[in-house]
């Protein structure tokens, strides 16, 4: 099966490609990229890959006219909750990966807070097999740092790594015990994989359901202060320095957090960070009226924090935009605010919300692509996130001008829990190609 994507605006930051060109795919692999203007490339510090300028004029089975559209490497989400095994009523690998490809993602990394927890090779193996059988895109499991995510004993990282885990995290929970976190950062050096930290000081955040401030007081909801996140980020960075491990900070939400990470990077500490679209698109005000679809952990913060997140993305403090896709069943979100589980179903709105940053002039298009392809691939050392000839054809075609209304009821994800329902967004993926499968 041959596919020709014609005349699209191709952006691949890993190779410094940015310009109009064609992509030729055969049997699920990119066989060549022909640029219209061979001199049309962005400055690249990395090694350049010379694109071939020859186009084979054989009978192609599918031609896609990408005039006026962007062509990116398929997006990579390094923070997704696929819920399977154990919480299939919220989402399955099948429905979660369908949501991913609808959102333009061709690779997702699934967090281990399943039931049973992914802290052993059997669950890792199950996830990988299920994904091959039923998944619409590639799934890389993230294994737990500690057994059962209890924060007490290290899980078998080596065995899970050889089975296919690409990183370790107790996400959903922090590793409260500093000694265990230190050991995790030290031990993981064996496999050169990152420890992804969910930074939350439970003693400060316990019982909290939204950002702490005047709004939480007037709603009568227990608040979570920014400091609950900042204290743990500071701690984890100090431990990363001590242990010389690779630390990646999940879902950064506050101004103070951005400042601490920026400072750590300046001091040369091996730390990377991600944020999620909701932290730069909305604030705690979305909770007004007790909207459980705006209940998320870490919570939505203030405009000041959102602005700092944008600045952090702009100056490189924050390396990645991930979704923290957290689907929940409709009935669970139709509960009293403090009884409702936290989480936003984000795969199908992430790219569009991120494109807002381009419309606002905060980031350029290649920078957005970087945050969602080459950077996560680099942190996880995946052979993905680029449009290299010979590599698997993971591609997304994006119409940056198309306006559409977010309709949660029509999400491919089982999780319809989004605070963006009804929003009009500009820019969306129109076609996602995963090796040999095409999704429109």
Contacts of 260 (CB under 8 A, 6+ apart): 230, 233, 234, 237
Per CB under 8 A, 331 contacts other proteins: yes
Per CB under 8 A, 224 contacts other proteins: no
Minimum CB separation of residue 217 from other proteins in Å reads: 6
Q: Are strands 437-439 and 424-434 parallel, antiparallel or unpaired?
A: antiparallel
Chosen residue from 158, 213, 256, 378 binding other proteins by CB under 8 A: 213
Q: Kindly list the distances between the CA atom of residue 143 and the CA atoms of 4, 84, 248, 400, in Å, as whole numbers in the listed order.
A: 38, 14, 14, 35
Minimum CB separation of residue 222 from other proteins in Å reads: 8
- Which CB sits closer to other proteins, 267 or 335? 335
Residues 188-200 as b/e (b if ≥16 CB within 10 A, e otherwise) read beebebbbbbbbb
Backbone phi, then psi, for 416, in 5-degree steps?
-100, 15
Per CB under 8 A, 334 contacts other proteins: yes
Per CB under 8 A, 302 contacts other proteins: no
Q: Residues 102, 352: contact at Cβ < 8 Å?
A: no
Minimum CB separation of residue 409 from other proteins in Å reads: 17
Per CB under 8 A, 54 contacts other proteins: no
Chosen residue from 126, 187, 191, 290 binding other proteins by CB under 8 A: 290
Enter the tokens of residue 406.
């977010």
Minimum CB separation of residue 287 from other proteins in Å reads: 10
Minimum CB separation of residue 419 from other proteins in Å reads: 16
Chosen residue from 289, 361, 390, 409 binding other proteins by CB under 8 A: 289
Minimum CB separation of residue 253 from other proteins in Å reads: 19
Q: Which stretch binds other proteins (CB under 8 A): 8-16, 24-32, 211-219, 405-413?
A: 211-219
Q: Which stretch binds other proteins (CB under 8 A): 145-153, 256-264, 328-336, 423-431?
A: 328-336
Minimum CB separation of residue 305 from other proteins in Å reads: 16
Task: Convert residues 337-366 into a mask of x (bound to other proteins by CB under 8 A) and - (unbound).
Answer: xxx---------------------------
Chosen residue from 1, 38, 214, 424 binding other proteins by CB under 8 A: 214
Report cis status (omega within 30 of 0) of the bond before 116. Answer: yes
Gap between the Cα atoms of 68 and 318, Å rounded: 30
Gap between the Cα atoms of 184 and 240, Å rounded: 10
Sign of the Cα pseudo-torsion (53, 57, 60, 66, in order):
positive
State CA 414 to chain mean position distance: 18
- Which CB sits closer to other proteins, 31 or 215? 215
What is the size of the binding site for other proteins (CB under 8 A)? 17
- Which CB sits closer to other proteins, 85 or 208? 208
Contacts of 210 (CB under 8 A, 6+ apart): 216, 219, 221, 222, 223, 224, 284, 287, 295, 299, 300
Q: Which stretch binds other proteins (CB under 8 A): 134-142, 216-224, 357-365, 391-399?
A: 216-224
- Which CB sits closer to other proteins, 91 or 212? 212
- Which CB sits closer to other proteins, 272 or 340? 340
Q: Residues 8, 397: contact at Cβ < 8 Å?
A: yes
Minimum CB separation of residue 329 from other proteins in Å reads: 12
Burial of 86: CB neighbours in 10 Å, binned 0-12, 13-18, 19+: middle
Identify the three-state secondary structure at position 131: helix
Residues 95-131 as b/e (b if ≥16 CB within 10 A, e otherwise) read bbbbbbbbbbbbbbbbbbbbeebbbbbebbebbbebb
Q: Which stretch binds other proteins (CB under 8 A): 144-152, 218-226, 249-257, 312-320?
A: 218-226
Chosen residue from 336, 361, 390, 409 binding other proteins by CB under 8 A: 336
Question: Which of 111, 115, 169, 120 has its CA nearest to residue 140?
Answer: 111
The residues annotated as belonging to the active site are 324
Chosen residue from 48, 189, 335, 359 binding other proteins by CB under 8 A: 335
Radius of gyration (C-alpha) of the chain in whole angstroms: 21
Gap between the Cα atoms of 311 and 305, Å rounded: 10
Question: Which of 128, 208, 116 has its CA nearest to residue 160?
Answer: 128
Question: Which of 126, 117, 229 has its CA nearest to residue 174?
Answer: 229
Per CB under 8 A, 221 contacts other proteins: yes
Per CB under 8 A, 204 contacts other proteins: no
**Which residues from 103-162 bind other proteins, rule CB under 8 A?**
none
Minimum CB separation of residue 338 from other proteins in Å reads: 5
- Which CB sits closer to other proteins, 150 or 329? 329
Residues of the shown chain interacting with other proteins in the complex, contacts defined by CB under 8 A: 213-214, 217-222, 289-290, 331, 334-339
């Amino acid at each position: 099966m041959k596919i020709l994507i014609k005349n699209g605006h191709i952006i691949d930051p890993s190779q410094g490609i940015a310009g109009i060109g064609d992509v030729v795919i055969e049997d699920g692999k990119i066989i060549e990229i022909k640029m219209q203007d061979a001199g049309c490339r962005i400055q690249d510090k990395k090694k350049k890959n010379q694109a071939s300028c020859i186009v084979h004029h054989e009978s192609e089975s599918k031609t896609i006219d990408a005039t006026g559209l962007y062509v990116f490497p398929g997006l990579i989400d390094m923070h997704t909750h696929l819920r399977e095994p154990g919480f299939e009523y919220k989402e399955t690998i099948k429905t979660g990966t369908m949501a991913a490809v609808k959102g333009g993602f061709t690779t997702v990394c699934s967090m281990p807070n399943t039931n049973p927890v992914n802290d052993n090779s059997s669950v890792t193996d199950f996830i990988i097999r299920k994904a091959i059988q039923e998944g619409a895109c590639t799934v890389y499991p993230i294994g737990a740092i500690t057994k059962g995510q209890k924060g007490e004993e290290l899980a078998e990282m080596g065995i899970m790594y050889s089975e296919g885990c690409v990183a370790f995290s107790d996400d959903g929970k922090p590793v409260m015990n500093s000694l265990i976190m230190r050991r995790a950062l030290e031990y993981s050096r064996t496999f050169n994989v990152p420890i992804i930290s969910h930074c939350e000081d439970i003693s400060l955040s316990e019982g909290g359901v939204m950002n702490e401030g005047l709004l939480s007081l007037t709603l009568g909801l227990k608040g979570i202060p920014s400091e609950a996140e900042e204290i743990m980020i500071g701690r984890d960075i100090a431990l990363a320095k001590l242990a010389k491990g690779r630390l990646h900070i999940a879902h950064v939400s506050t101004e103070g957090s951005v400042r601490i990470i920026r400072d750590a990077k300046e001091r040369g500490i091996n730390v990377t960070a991600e944020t999620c679209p909701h932290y730069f698109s909305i604030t705690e005000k979305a909770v007004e009226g007790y909207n459980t679809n705006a209940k998320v952990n870490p919570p939505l913060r203030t405009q000041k924090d959102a602005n700092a997140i944008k600045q952090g993305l702009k100056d490189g403090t924050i390396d990645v935009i991930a979704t923290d896709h957290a689907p929940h069943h409709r009935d669970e979100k139709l509960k009293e605010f403090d009884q409702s589980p936290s989480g936003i179903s984000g795969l199908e709105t992430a790219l569009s919300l991120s494109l807002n940053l381009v419309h606002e002039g905060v980031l350029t298009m290649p920078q957005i692509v970087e945050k969602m392809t080459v950077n996560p691939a680099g942190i996880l050392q995946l052979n993905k996130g680029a449009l290299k000839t010979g590599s698997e054809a993971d591609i997304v075609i994006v119409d940056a001008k198309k306006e559409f209304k977010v309709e949660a009821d029509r999400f491919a994800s089982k999780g319809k829990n989004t605070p963006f329902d009804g929003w009009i967004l500009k820019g969306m993926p129109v076609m996602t190609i995963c090796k040999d499968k095409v999704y429109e």
